Structure formats: structure tokens, C-alpha cells
């Protein structure tokens, strides 16, 4: 049997459902999913198998107008992920349609037309009526010549298998790039940090999640088969530290418990998780923090 393998970049505005689609394709949670925008920072690679094809998904950060250094690094990472892929899938939210943000992504795609095929996936189709969907499909295909259009709900699973099967058939012939049972090429330390960051994002105030980062400082494999994971949450201000700790340490305990439970499920073994909160006023300007997130510090000026 002929094997196929290739890279697919998922691009779109923040909160378009890229992480949800990636997790649905892979069949496991490899990318953080929250209701807050701009939560994916690194180019997370999830590996999906379909028949004899291996599809390596690059879940890029959402593309938006950058305001600060971290934003610029995230947007550059998104376009870098797209440039390296065999195929691009643009996700557009059905209920939001052709927004100024989608317009600017299409403009950028026109500037690189012919470099690789681009498929359109209209996501969250359960939120609109079918006649609106048809109108949006026509409008988007007028704006850009997509190779193929899919209507999906990544959250509910509608149309996901059709998209996956089509992508599998489009991958270049060649040997698989990863072992068959591998679902992500992120180091486990980074996945563990992302899981904790997700719990922080879900629990904290509107702006604070964008002012913090999580790093796995140490990972100890114990003789009893369990893992001890020590993580540091870096924040920019003393006031942020107090919010994360909460009254009597309640907030940090709840975050630690939720992250530990998910890590136990993900790793399928006992986990001892220890969290520390440290104030680093200029962490957003430190090259080391960016490399921990899988982002390019130099490329973010």
C-alpha cells in the first residue's frame, strides 16, 4: 500500500475553532481550547492517521492585527506555519462571516497564491440557517479561489471526517513522518505547561491570561511510575500574583487540581503537580520566555 504524509496548516482569526478542529482530527486533546481569543501561542503539531495517510496538522496562532511584541511573534508564527505546509485550511466562523479580519487574511493569501492549495472550512455551521451558509460560501469563493469548500462544526463533529478523508488523499506520497501512535510533536513539558495555562485562562479575568506564561521547570520520573512536575507561572505585576493565588490560596489550588486531573488523564498515570507564581515585570521582552513558547523572539520586533 502506498503511504502518504504531509503538513496541513490551520489558519484563521482568533477563536475560529482551529484548536477544536485539531483536537477532533487527532482524536485527543493536543491544543488548548478556551472561550478566550488568542490562546494558542506556539505552532502546535498534531498528528492524525487516516488509512495509509499521516496528516501533520499545524495549529497556528490566530491571525489578527498585532499590538505588542508577543502579538507580532504569534502572527509571524502563524504565517511561518502556513509557509511550511503542503496545504492550508482557512477556518471561517459561519455566524461572523466575511469580517475585516478574514478580508485581511484573504488579501495575504492572494499575495502568495499558487504556493500551495488552500481549502475553506466554514465552521460552527450549527449557528446559522442553511440559506445564509450558501450565501457566505458564494461570497468567500468569489473573494478567493479555494481548492475545495467544507461546511463543518468542529465542536459537534459535523463534516470533520469528510475534511479529514479529503486531506488524507491530498497528502504527498512518501513515508510517514512520525510513529503511528504519536499524536503530537510538542515536548511533553510544553504540553503540560499548556494544560496549566488553559486552566488559568478559563479561571482568570479578561486581560490577565495574556499577561502570563507557564513553564515546566522540572519533570521527574519516579520509581512508582508517577511523575513529579514543577511549573512556574510568570506574571508581569505583583497584583497579578495575588489574583492567581486567590484568598487563602484558593484560586491556585483549584487551578492546580484541574490541571493535575487533566495531566493524569492525558498521561494515564499518577501526577504530582507543584505550581509557583513568580513576578517578572519584563517577561514579555525576554528571549528565553519566547523560546519556551516555541516562538521566535528576533522575528517579533
124 annotated as a binding-site residue: yes
Pinpoint the alpha helices (H) of the chain. 18-26, 69-84, 100-110, 130-143, 160-170, 188-203, 238-245, 250-267, 287-292
Burial of 79 (0-12, 13-18, 19+ CB in 10 A): middle
**CA-based torsion, 146, 147, 148, 153: positive or negative:** negative
Residue 63 marked ligand-binding: yes
Q: Rounded CA gap, 68 and 84, in Å?
A: 25
> 248: annotated binding-site residue?
no
36 is in an annotated binding site: no
Q: What span, in angstroms and rounded, lies between the C-alpha atoms of 101 and 81?
A: 18
Does the annotation place 61 within a ligand binding site?
yes
- Known binding residue 19? Answer is yes
Is 111 labelled a binding residue?
Answer: no
Q: Is 15 annotated as a binding residue?
A: yes
Is residue 59 a known part of a binding site? yes
Annotated binding-site residue? 229 = no
DSSP secondary-structure letter at 210?
G
CB 198 within 8 A of CB 269: no
Does the annotation list 17 as a binding residue? yes
Nine-digit cell at 12? 484563521
Of 40, 8, 14, 39, residue with least CA distance to 26:
8
The span from the CA of 258 to the CA of 158, in Å, is 29
Q: Quick one: 200 exposed, middle or buried, by C-beta within 10 A (0-12, 13-18, 19+)? A: buried
User: Does 13 show up as a binding residue in the annotation?
Assistant: yes
Burial class of residue 291 (count of CB atoms within 10 Å of its CB; 0-12, 13-18, 19+): exposed
Known binding-site residues for GTP equal 12-19, 59-63, 123-126
Known binding-site residues equal 12-19, 59-63, 123-126
Amino acid at each position: 500500500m502506498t503511504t502518504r504524509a504531509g503538513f496541513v496548516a490551520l489558519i484563521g482569526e482568533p477563536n475560529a475553532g482551529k484548536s477544536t478542529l485539531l483536537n477532533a482530527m487527532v482524536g485527543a486533546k493536543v491544543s488548548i481550547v478556551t472561550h478566550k481569543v488568542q490562546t494558542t501561542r506556539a505552532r502546535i503539531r498534531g498528528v492524525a492517521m487516516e488509512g495509509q495517510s499521516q496528516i501533520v496538522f499545524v495549529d497556528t496562532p490566530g491571525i489578527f492585527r498585532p499590538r505588542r511584541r508577543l502579538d507580532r511573534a504569534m502572527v509571524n508564527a502563524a504565517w511561518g506555519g502556513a509557509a511550511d505546509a503542503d496545504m492550508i485550511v482557512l477556518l471561517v466562523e459561519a455566524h461572523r462571516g466575511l469580517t475585516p479580519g478574514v478580508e485581511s487574511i484573504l488579501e495575504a493569501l492572494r499575495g502568495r497564491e499558487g504556493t500551495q492549495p488552500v481549502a475553506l472550512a466554514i465552521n460552527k455551521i450549527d449557528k446559522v440557517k442553511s440559506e445564509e451558509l450558501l450565501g457566505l460560501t458564494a461570497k468567500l469563493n468569489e473573494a478567493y479561489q479555494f481548492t475545495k469548500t467544507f461546511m463543518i462544526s468542529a465542536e459537534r463533529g459535523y463534516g470533520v471526517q469528510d475534511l479529514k478523508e479529503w486531506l488524507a488523499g491530498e497528502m504527498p506520497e512518501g513515508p510517514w513522518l512520525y510513529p503511528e501512535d504519536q499524536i503530537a510533536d510538542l515536548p511533553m513539558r510544553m504540553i503540560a505547561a499548556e494544560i496549566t495555562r488553559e486552566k488559568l485562562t478559563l479561571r482568570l479575568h479578561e486581560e490577565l491570561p495574556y499577561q502570563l506564561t507557564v513553564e515546566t521547570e522540572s519533570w521527574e520520573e519516579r520509581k512508582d511510575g508517577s511523575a513529579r512536575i514543577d511549573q512556574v507561572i510568570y506574571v508581569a505585576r505583583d497584583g497579578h500574583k495575588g489574583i492567581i493565588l486567590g484568598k487563602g490560596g484558593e484560586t491556585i489550588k483549584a487551578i492546580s487540581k484541574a490541571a493535575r486531573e487533566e495531566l493524569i488523564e492525558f498521561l494515564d498515570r499518577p501526577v504530582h503537580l507543584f505550581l509557583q507564581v513568580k513576578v517578572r515585570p519584563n517577561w514579555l521582552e525576554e528571549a528565553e520566555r519566547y523560546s519556551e513558547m516555541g516562538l521566535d523572539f528576533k522575528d517579533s520586533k
